[in-house]
Structure 1
């Protein structure tokens, strides 16, 4: 699949705890193919950023030829990494979508324990925001809605239904039409 070279790309999304340990990560770049390379990168990024105060606003740092945008929330550190040529504002919007959608999904109780208990929601949010490094969605409400599988009217959209849900829905509609 050919990708437009002008299209912004994300190299990884990281969610680390207050000690720099991995909670949820997703890599989209071939630079970090092994778990050992990933662990070393996470440790070095955390060492570089842990002493700053990114609690109120996001911080941006250039590190190892990559642009890192990060923010702290309680005992967690949210990171979005892009190439050195990427637009900081676009990476910032991905970061905002990442931690705000997690906040919505976890009902504003974002801490290490709650994230670990709801890790499936966090990983689904990451998948809704970025796929293969391409940014899909930056609106936190839309991401949270898709992750929780709610449509605008509270019903599951046909596109997001499982086969059994779609079959049951079709069976109900056929039964209603026959009973008329």
Structure 2
């Protein structure tokens, strides 16, 4: 308990991962969210979970956090599912090099997949 909140954490080399919930929240649920976050970050960074690597890839790490939890509501606790949604595809073209039609098509596909899940 920390200021009336339930807190679970996990440490690694030079990082600490924290998940906090209300005092009535089940610690096992919070732990599953924490494990999902850590495993997702580990897969995204290819097992190199260190401060420098996280800072270099902070945008995708934050996106993974957003896929796991939104507004305090747990959306997904499966690291493979989270990684598949946030992973950059190899065939992606940098946004500056895409035509307007390609950007619109990409947005349509992203919207379609988000609605199907």
| TM-score, length basis structure 2 | 0.77
* Greater Cα radius of gyration, structure 1 or 2: 1
Runs of 4+ with >2 A deviation: 162-168
Q: CA deviation at 1:165?
A: 2.3
CA RMSD of aligned residues (A): 2.3
Partner of 2:14: 75
Q: Which runs of 5+ in 2 are unaligned?
A: 93-102, 110-117
Gap change, CA 1:163 and 1:83, over 3 Å in 2: same
Q: Which of the numbers 46, 51, 58 marks the counterpart of 1:107?
A: 46
Q: Which of the numbers 73, 96, 108 marks the counterpart of 1:134?
A: 73
More helix by share: 2
Partner of 1:148: 87
Gap change, CA 1:141 and 1:155, over 3 Å in 2: farther
Question: When the two structures are aligned, how many residues end up with a matched partner?
Answer: 99
Q: CA deviation at 1:63?
A: 1.2
| TM-score, length basis structure 1 | 0.51
